[in-house]
Amino acid sequence: MDKLTHFDETGRSKMVDVSDKEITLREAVASGVISMKPDTFRMIMNKEIVKGDVLEVAKIAGIMAAKKTSELIPMCHPLEITNVEMFFRPHEGESSIEIESKVKVRGRTGVEMEALVAVSVAALTIYDMCKAVDKAMIISQVKLMRKSGGKSGIYQI
């Protein structure tokens, strides 16, 4: 594929017409990292942040964000998402938390954007809940890890 699908022949933006696409099981996995001060990491792991259980709230935020992606990204199709899973992998030595989302749908278009939005919003939620103790947190490496289903087949890093 060597053309951008969200533009017509005159260069104007458009929503991709997926009417004729086959309904298949589609899945996407995205990941990202939030890095912080060692004290902030310790507080999150020990559930000492006064706003609550940071990773549990970030999990819920990520799931909600995946379901709202079409309201945030202008050309995304509203989808009947069938499953969203969020995973958090703490890395004590780096004072960071790897965030991963896995999103599934049975539909005519993929869920890459939903997975990426889920990771991004989960990371932003961690930042929001901890910014009182650490404004220097860094969100990085947000990327699509894998996608499957549909005409283009499997993509994997």
Q: Where are the domains of the chain?
A: 32-147
Give yes or no for residue 104 having a pLDDT over 90. yes
pLDDT tens digits, one per residue of 12-45: 887 888 888 889 999 999 999 999 999 999 999 9
Paired tokens of 134:
């650490």
End-to-end CA distance of the chain: 18
% of the chain surpassing 90 pLDDT: 83
Q: Which fold has domain 32-147?
A: Alpha-Beta Plaits (3.30.70)
Query: How crowded is residue 31: how many other Cβ atoms within 10 Å of its Cβ?
Result: 21
| Catalytically annotated residues | 128
Residue found under tokens 């940071």 = 54
pTM above 0.85, yes or no: yes
pLDDT at residue 113 in the model: 97
Q: In what order do the strands lie in the sheet with 155-156?
A: 81-91, 96-107, 24-35, 138-148, 155-156
